[in-house]
Structures are given as structure tokens and as C-alpha cells.
């Protein structure tokens, strides 16, 4: 366990901002976590993984909890599947590398997404047609109020697009300690989304390994997204909006080229396209800039303040709403 007062959170946010926490408490096991919850009972808690989806608007006046529990183990195995339990502080990408080395399938499309295993369940991270919820079996957590351990099923978590109960009615009520993923030994690769399959020209797709898919995903992502450590960002700043079919039809007559995907909730429109159409690629406010290669991303182009980032995000939302009548919502968690 490590407890630091007036601690810097520079290493715990990928925007390259420099907020402080009144207390930063790192724990290595569940008993230490329970002891921290007891010691600081009544305080405001925030659990932070790598801070790759957080925008600290100011210093955090409370206790930041950070999991250093990083093990993974196989829980059970059948002829076709393996259940792997990974602790919350393990980097998701390190887990995916381990799984690919074992030829276990299901998470490879999520390669190179920054962040921890714990947050992958909070955020229901997704990329290339796969979401964490597709392979999450259970989520184990400690209740902040009581210290009691609970195990949630996939259904309990109410996963949705970049969403789960941990972001809504359970917000800040649980600290996730481990996630169990159900992985396939054969088949199971998803190559039909975002041209991923096309990137393997000349290859028999059924022969691909999760390691090859992982390497391709990393190659593609490196071309499109800012690398953590090079430019501060939190990945996609906005969610792709889902609008009603009626609203989409009206917009389509005006913008026939508008890309779209039908979903069970309505029509999903790529926010990046909307932002680009508003001429916002490369738009800068103070040190914050809309990333030229992927306008869904806002980067810290040098010495940006949280306010620069917030105001630029507001401008993007205002311009998109003004032109298309569509309200963008941030994917990034604002921390007041």
C-alpha cells in the first residue's frame, strides 16, 4: 500500500494535465482496499486506472484510489473455452498480449486501447466491432460504503455503448477488483468491421491467429490515433450520436453523403464526420486542438489547460448542434 498526500496526478491522466489529489492511495490487494475505505470513510473517493478517459477540471479534493492488483489466472476450461480472471490494475493491453500468446480469442480487436482491466468494464471499451461486454462473464468489486465483496454478472452491469451501471446508478459506489473474461480457443475472430478483414489482403481469414489480428489492429491504430506520451488525449472525446430514423431521413435529404449505421436504438452517425463537416479539423483553442487525422479526438497540443480542452469541446458541440441539430455527448469523464 502507498499513501501520498497532496499528490500529483500527472502520471494518472493521459491529457498531460497536472492536477493534484488531496490523497492518492494505491492498494495491492482487497484487504488494503478495505482498510483504505475504512480509514477515509465519509470522504469523496475516485478510482483511477490510467486516467485515459478522464478530464480533471481542477485538483481533486478527495481520495484517489489506484489498483496495483495486476495478476491474471485461468479459472476454468472446457473443450472450446477458457475463463480468465484478470485483476483490475492490469493494463488491458498487457492482458490482450498474454491472451494472444496463448491463442485465446475474443479481446484482440481491443488491442492498444490504453487503460486498465477494471475500467474496461466501467467503460465497456470497444473497437473494431467488439466491446468488452461481448466477453465479460463477471465483474468482482468491493462496495465503497460497506467493504463487502460482490460479484456481478454481465447482465447485472447493464452494458451499453461505452456505458455500464458503474457510470450511472452505481457511479463511485464500487471499486472493481477483477473481471472474468470468457475466451474462445478456436474461431471467434471478428474481422468484418471497419475494414479490418480487408487489411489482410491475400490471406485466408479463417487461418489468422489472434496475435496477427492484434498486430494489425495496433498498426492501424498507430496511423490514426495520437500515441499516449506523444500527444495528450483521452481518445475519442465524443460518443457517436444515435438519432431517430425520422431525424436521420430529414438530414439525409440535405446531406446525402452522411455515413450511418442502423442500430437497435436508432441510426448511429459518426461524430468524426459531423465534426469534419463543420470545418473543425485542426481547430485550436489555447493549447487544445481537434486532431487532424481523427477529429473525434481532442489533443493537448502543448501546455493546454483543462479549461482550453473544455471550451474547445463546447465549441465542437455548439457547431455540430448548430449545423445538424445533433447533440454530441462527451465520452470523456469530466472530474470536477
Ligand X SMILES: Cc1cc2nc3c(=O)[nH]c(=O)nc-3n(C[C@H](O)[C@H](O)[C@H](O)COP(=O)(O)OP(=O)(O)OC[C@H]3O[C@@H](n4cnc5c(N)ncnc54)[C@H](O)[C@@H]3O)c2cc1C
Task: Please give the helix or strand (H or E) that residue 119 lies within, else none.
Answer: helix 117-123
| Catalytic annotation present for 32 | no
- Interface with ligand X (CB under 6 A), residue from 86, 225, 274, 304: 225
Dist CA 13 CA 228 (whole Å):
10
Min separation Cβ 202 and ligand X, Å? 27
111 binds ligand X (CB under 6 A): no
Beta bridge pairs of residue 149: 142
Site for ligand X in 18-47 (CB under 6 A): 46-47
Site for ligand X in 57-76 (CB under 6 A): 67
109 binds ligand X (CB under 6 A): no
Min separation Cβ 185 and ligand X, Å? 25
What distances in angstroms separate CA 36 from CA 2, 9, 261, 269, one per listed residue? 10, 18, 45, 43
Sorted by sequence, the CB contacts under 8 Å of residue 107 that are 6+ apart come out as 92, 95, 96, 99, 130, 132, 135, 181, 183
50 binds ligand X (CB under 6 A): yes
Which residue minimizes CB distance to ligand X? 49
88 binds ligand X (CB under 6 A): yes
Dist CA 133 CA 135 (whole Å):
5
Residues written for the chain: 336
180 binds ligand X (CB under 6 A): no
Q: Which stretch binds ligand X (CB under 6 A): 107-115, 255-263, 273-281, 320-328?
A: 107-115
| Catalytic annotation present for 137 | no
- Interface with ligand X (CB under 6 A), residue from 64, 157, 228, 328: 228
Strands (E), the chain: 2-8, 20-27, 45-47, 54-56, 60-67, 72-77, 81-87, 126-127, 130-131, 136-143, 149-153, 174-184, 242-243, 261-263, 266-268, 284-285, 288-290, 298-300, 333-335
Q: Which stretch binds ligand X (CB under 6 A): 153-161, 201-209, 231-239, 282-290?
A: 231-239
127 binds ligand X (CB under 6 A): yes
Dist CA 235 CA 52 (whole Å):
8
Dist CA 239 CA 326 (whole Å):
12
| Catalytic annotation present for 214 | no
53 binds ligand X (CB under 6 A): yes
- Interface with ligand X (CB under 6 A), residue from 119, 157, 272, 301: 119
> Which position among 162, 165, 182, 214 bears the catalytic label?
162
User: Where on the chain is the footprint of ligand X (CB under 6 A)?
Assistant: 14, 46-54, 67, 88, 113-116, 118-120, 122-123, 125-127, 162, 166, 175-176, 225-226, 228, 233-235, 333
Residues annotated catalytic, as ranges: 162, 236, 331
Amino acid at each position: 500500500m502507498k499513501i501520498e498526500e497532496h499528490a500529483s496526478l500527472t502520471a494518472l491522466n493521459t491529457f498531460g494535465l497536472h492536477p493534484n489529489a488531496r490523497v492518492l492511495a494505491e492498494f495491492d490487494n482487497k484487504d488494503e482496499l478495505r482498510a483504505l475505505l475504512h480509514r477515509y470513510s465519509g470522504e469523496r473517493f475516485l478510482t483511477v486506472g490510467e486516467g485515459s478517459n478522464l478530464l480533471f477540471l481542477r485538483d481533486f479534493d478527495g481520495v484517489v484510489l489506484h489498483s496495483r492488483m495486476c495478476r491474471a489466472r485461468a479459472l476454468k476450461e472446457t473443450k472450446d473455452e477458457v475463463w480468465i480472471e484478470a485483476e483490475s490494475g492490469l493494463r488491458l493491453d498487457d492482458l490482450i498480449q498474454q491472451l494472444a500468446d496463448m491463442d485465446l480469442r475474443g479481446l484482440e480487436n481491443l488491442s492498444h486501447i490504453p487503460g486498465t482491466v477494471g475500467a474496461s468494464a466501467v467503460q465497456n471499451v470497444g473497437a473494431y466491432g467488439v466491446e468488452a461486454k461481448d466477453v465479460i462473464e463477471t465483474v468482482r468489486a468491493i462496495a465503497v460504503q460497506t467493504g463487502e465483496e460482490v460479484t456481478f454478472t454481465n447482465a447485472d452491469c447493464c452494458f451499453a455503448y461505452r456505458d455500464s451501471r458503474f457510470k450511472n446508478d452505481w457511479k463511485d459506489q464500487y471499486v472493481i477488483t477483477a473481471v472474468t473474461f470468457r475466451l474462445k480457443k478456436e474461431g471467434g475472430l471478428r474481422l468484418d468491421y471497419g475494414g479490418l478483414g480487408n487489411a489482410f489482403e491475400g490471406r485466408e481469414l479463417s487461418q489468422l491467429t489472434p496475435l496477427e489480428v492484434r498486430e494489425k489492429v495496433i498498426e492501424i491504430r498507430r496511423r490514426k490515433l495520437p500515441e499516449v506520451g506523444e500527444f495528450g488525449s483521452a481518445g475519442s472525446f465524443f460518443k457517436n450520436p444515435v438519432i431517430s430514423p425520422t431525424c436521420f431521413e430529414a438530414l439525409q435529404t440535405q446531406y446525402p453523403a452522411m455515413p450511418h449505421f442502423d442500430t437497435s436504438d436508432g441510426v448511429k452517425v459518426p461524430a468524426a464526420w459531423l465534426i469534419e463537416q463543420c470545418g473543425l479539423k485542426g481547430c485550436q483553442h489555447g493549447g487544445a486542438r481537434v486532431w487532424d487525422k481523427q477529429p473525434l479526438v481532442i489533443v493537448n497540443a502543448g501546455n493546454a489547460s483543462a479549461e482550453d480542452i473544455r471550451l474547445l469541446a463546447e465549441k465542437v458541440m455548439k457547431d455540430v448542434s448548430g449545423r445538424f441539430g445533433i447533440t454530441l455527448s462527451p465520452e470523456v469523464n469530466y472530474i470536477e
